[in-house]
């Protein structure tokens, strides 16, 4: 097969052609383009050589499009418009205004107002960035951000996290904990903040260890220091199950303060003295995408 050694078709050829086609006058087109007339004529001839057709009929008094030129003009305009769109998309992607943000989150995160507000602000500021949501346990979020399959993890922690050195976190929210129980439960009648010792002998309904962000282990450790082991009646896999079984009186549970806003008629809430719950945004230090950097700036700006 013979090698095509014809010069390539360039966007500037199309721009020159469209300008001449609109002006139908080489002098006016050259002035509009900000170049002299001879180079413009040379570029149009080069374009015709590449295409192998005549695009203009020229006389000493007039310039008009040939049939090939008439058919080529809308295609040239569309090609230039598509090139402009592609350039705009590239610039927007570089600034993080278009693209994708893959986000992992812990099961209770969608019920936390501060986190939901942060996501809503990002959506309002960057409407052309698609947000991919993945409900994942903490360890899978850490692994995903480390490998690059996730851009951001939003997770809950009750103690300092040991993360790989290439990952970093920003605090989103820190809040106290509350005990939730049926309104007729004896602990609901106490007019004071509860202590961990009040949980001795109580039937507890907790998130499953995989989704509990280390809370179950921390609770067991603190209770052991007080001389008892907590009685875990059930480990729920969803927030709805956790609250529903507590409302049914099958046990009591411990929630972060923001989750207590789901104040069901059958539930009462009491503060409990124990380590605070923190929501953290986790990201890769070196390989953060432009959209990830924008999300981080939004969080840092409050």
pLDDT digit string, tens, across residues 119-149? 899 999 999 999 998 988 888 999 999 999 9
Residues above pLDDT 70, as percent of the chain: 94
Answer yes or no: are the C-beta atoms of 6 and 17 closer than 8 Å: no
Q: What is the pLDDT of residues 81-118, one digit of tens each?
A: 999 999 999 999 898 999 899 999 887 677 677 788 88
For the chain, the DSSP string reads -----SPPP-HHHHHHHHHHHHH--HHHHHHHHTS-HHHHHHHHHHHHHHHTS--EEE-SS-EEE-HHHHHHHHHHHHHHHHHHHHHHHHHHHHTTSSEEEEEEE-TTGGG-HHHHHHHHHHHHH-TTEEEEEEE--HHHHHHHHHHTS-SEEEEEESS-----TTEEEEEEEEEEEEEEEETTSGGGG--S-B-GGGGTTPEEEEE-TTTTTTHHHHHHHHHHHTT---EEEEEESSHHHHHHHHHTTS-BEEEEGGGGGS--TTEEEEEEEEEEEEEEEEEESSS--HHHHHHHHHHHT-
Q: What is the pLDDT of residue 1?
A: 45
Which pLDDT score is estimated for 276?
77
User: What's the confidence (pLDDT) of residue 262?
Assistant: 65
pLDDT (tens digit, 9 = 90+) per residue, 33-66?
A: 999 999 999 999 999 999 999 999 988 788 999 9
CA–CA dist 50, 83 (Å, integer): 20
Structure confidence at residue 114 (pLDDT): 78
Cα 92 from Cα 251, distance rounded (Å)? 52
Residue 296 has pLDDT above 60, yes or no: yes
Residue with tokens 């947000």: 131
Q: How far apart are CA 51 and CA 8, in angstroms?
A: 10
In the predicted structure, residue 263 carries a pLDDT above the cut 70: no
Smallest CA-to-CA distance from 132 within 17, 295, 297 is with 295
Q: Looking at residue 7, what is its pLDDT? A: 64
pLDDT tens by residue, 180-209: 999 999 999 998 899 999 999 999 998 876
Residue 20 pLDDT greater than 50, yes or no: yes
Q: pTM value?
A: 0.69
């Amino acid at each position: 097969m013979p090698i095509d050694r014809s010069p390539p078709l360039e966007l500037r050829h199309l721009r020159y052609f469209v300008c001449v086609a609109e002006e139908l006058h080489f002098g006016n087109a050259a002035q509009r383009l900000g170049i002299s007339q001879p180079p413009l004529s040379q570029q149009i001839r080069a374009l015709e050589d590449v295409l192998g057709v005549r695009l203009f009929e020229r006389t000493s008094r007039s310039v008009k499009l040939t049939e090939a030129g008439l058919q080529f003009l809308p295609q040239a305009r569309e090609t230039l418009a598509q090139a402009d769109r592609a350039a705009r998309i590239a610039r927007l992607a570089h600034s993080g205004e278009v693209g994708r943000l893959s986000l992992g989150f812990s099961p209770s995160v969608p019920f936390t107002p501060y986190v939901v507000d942060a996501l809503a602000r990002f959506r309002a500021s960057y409407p052309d960035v698609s947000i991919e949501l993945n409900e994942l346990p903490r360890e899978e979020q850490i692994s995903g951000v480390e490998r690059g399959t996730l851009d951001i993890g939003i997770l809950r922690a009750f103690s300092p996290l040991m993360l790989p050195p290439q990952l970093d976190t920003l605090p989103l929210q820190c809040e106290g904990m509350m005990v939730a129980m049926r309104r007729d439960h004896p602990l609901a009648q106490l007019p004071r903040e509860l202590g961990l010792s009040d949980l001795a002998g109580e039937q507890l309904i907790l998130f499953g260890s995989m989704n509990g962000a280390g809370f179950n282990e921390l609770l067991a450790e603190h209770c052991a220091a007080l001389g008892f082991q907590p009685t875990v009646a059930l480990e729920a896999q969803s927030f709805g199950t956790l609250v529903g079984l507590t409302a049914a009186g099958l046990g009591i549970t411990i929630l972060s303060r923001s989750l207590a806003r789901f104040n069901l008629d059958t539930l009462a809430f009491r503060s409990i003295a124990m380590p605070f719950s923190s929501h953290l945004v986790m990201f890769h230090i070196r390989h953060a995408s432009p959209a990830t950097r924008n999300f981080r700036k939004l969080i840092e700006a409050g």
